[in-house]
């Protein structure tokens, strides 16, 4: 199953706007508070954000748009990208090293905090959309795409090697906890795992989990032997379907599915083994029991859709909507 981004996102938005169900509403269980620090405007849609520390963060979107903050989100400045591709994902390796992926086989690297960007087009499919990336530093990075590929560079993108053949499904997300162990997930309930830096990936299909109505895995987060995967039930035909969190506490030996009040969980962040956050289309979700239960703690203004979330520690977090509004969490 191929995914074509951003057309898939635009279709999903058109299907869900105006008929969203916010479930149980907003809970007050978060120890801190969320505040909107950037309002949306008409310059285009956004897809992701990432923070290196409590001050330095980036957000990316359509037509090569890059936003940057150096004060924790109080103000945001446009960084000149000189590309027109839709930028779909961003990850920081440090406050100076930032990787960005997008449509039309577009990949960007900055080693000076975004002052300048080196844009690359890895060998292979020119129609590739980079759906997720996992950088360790300015030299090592893994990317996954809508053509079912995993690529790795060890020389800052001067060369890329394919780590598995073209799969029959899009690989939507990837994370590495170190230079050897990494996890990825795909459409059709596929989970991939490597313990040798990607030389070998094992593939597991989680059809045995009785959730029935979700097909697309959207984001993955790992801490040691614990893994959490967000899911999208937006295309389900099941009445009152809910997106949820697929998780494992034993490095993938066993898996559980936990529903959330939202239709689609787009992005995940855990600050430890028990406290987690998720960006759902209808709001920001919070868990204090390792992802077993989830409650809304923030709903977006003007019926917008959350698409990304990032935390650097327990007290500093951010979330972004498809329309470009940005919210900041300040913990106590």
The per-residue pLDDT string of the chain (332 residues; one tens digit each, 9 = 90 and over) reads 444 444 444 434 433 433 444 444 455 555 689 999 999 977 789 999 999 999 999 999 999 999 999 999 999 999 999 999 999 999 999 999 999 999 999 999 999 999 999 999 998 888 999 999 999 999 999 999 999 999 999 999 999 999 987 788 899 999 999 999 999 999 888 999 999 999 999 999 888 765 555 568 999 999 999 999 999 987 666 666 778 899 999 999 999 989 899 989 999 999 999 999 999 999 999 999 999 999 999 998 887 899 999 999 999 999 999 999 999 999 87
> Is 317 within the bounds of a domain?
yes
Q: Which single residue is written with the structure tokens 């984001």?
A: 219
SS3 per-residue string spanning 46-107: EEEEEECCCCCEEEEEHHHCEEEECCCCCCCEEECCCCCCCEEEEEECCCCCEEEEECCCEE
Sign of CA pseudo-dihedral 263, 128, 221, 316: negative
Environment class of 49 (CB within 10 Å of its CB; exposed 0-12, middle 13-18, buried 19+): buried
State pTM to two decimals: 0.90
Residue 265 pairs in a beta bridge with: 280
Asked whether 66 and 79 are in contact (CB, 8 A), the reply is yes
How far, in Å, CA of 305 to CA of 17, rounded? Answer: 8
Residue 289 makes CB contacts below 8 A (sequence gap 6+) with 274
Asked whether 171 and 144 are in contact (CB, 8 A), the reply is yes
Number of domains in the chain: 1
Which CATH number characterizes residue 145's domain? 2.130.10.10
CA 196 to chain centre: 23
Of 120, 125, 89, the residue nearest 266 (C-alpha): 89
Residue 102 makes CB contacts below 8 A (sequence gap 6+) with 60, 64, 83, 85, 86, 87, 88, 89, 108, 129, 130
> Is 1 within the bounds of a domain?
no
Q: How many C-beta atoms lie closer than 10 Å to residue 47's C-beta?
A: 26
In three-state secondary structure terms, 126 is coil
CA distances from 280 to 43, 174, 232, 293 (A): 23, 19, 9, 14
Q: Residue 67 has what pLDDT?
A: 97
Range of the domain at 168: 7-330
> Is 2 within the bounds of a domain?
no
Q: Residue 34 has what pLDDT?
A: 96
Q: Residue 234 has what pLDDT?
A: 72
> Is 235 within the bounds of a domain?
yes
């Amino acid at each position: 199953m191929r995914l074509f981004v951003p057309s898939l996102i635009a279709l999903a938005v058109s299907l869900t706007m105006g008929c969203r169900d916010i479930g149980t509403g907003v809970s007050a269980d978060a120890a801190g508070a969320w505040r909107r620090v950037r309002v949306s405007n008409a310059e285009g849609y956004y897809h992701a954000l990432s923070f290196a520390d409590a001050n330095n963060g980036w957000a990316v979107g359509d037509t090569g748009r890059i936003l940057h903050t150096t004060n924790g989100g109080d103000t945001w400045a446009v960084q000149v990208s000189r590309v027109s591709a839709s930028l779909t994902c961003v990850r920081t390796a440090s406050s100076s090293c930032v990787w960005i992926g997008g449509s039309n086989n577009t990949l960007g690297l900055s080693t000076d905090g975004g002052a300048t960007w080196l844009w690359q087009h890895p060998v292979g499919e020119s129609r590739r959309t980079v759906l997720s990336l996992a950088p360790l530093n300015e030299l090592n990075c893994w990317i996954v795409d809508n053509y079912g590929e995993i690529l790795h560079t060890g020389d800052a993108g001067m060369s890329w090697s394919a780590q598995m053949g073209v799969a029959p499904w899009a690989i939507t997300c990837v994370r590495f906890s170190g230079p050897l162990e990494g996890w990825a997930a795909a459409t059709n309930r596929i989970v991939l795992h490597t313990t040798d830096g990607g030389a070998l990936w094992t593939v597991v299909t989680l059809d045995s989990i009785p959730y029935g109505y979700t097909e697309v895995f959207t984001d993955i987060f790992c801490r040691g032997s614990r893994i959490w995967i967000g899911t999208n039930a937006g295309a389900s035909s099941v009445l009152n379907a809910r997106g949820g969190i697929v998780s494992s506490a034993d490095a993938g030996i066993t898996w559980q599915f936990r529903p959330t009040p939202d239709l689609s969980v787009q992005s995940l962040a855990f600050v430890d083994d028990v406290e987690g956050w998720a960006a759902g289309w209808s709001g920001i979700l919070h868990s204090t029991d390792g992802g077993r239960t989830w409650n809304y703690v923030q709903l977006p203004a003007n019926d917008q859709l959350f698409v990304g979330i990032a935390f650097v520690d327990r007290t500093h977090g951010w979330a972004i909507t498809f329309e470009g509004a940005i919210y900041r969490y300040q913990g106590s």
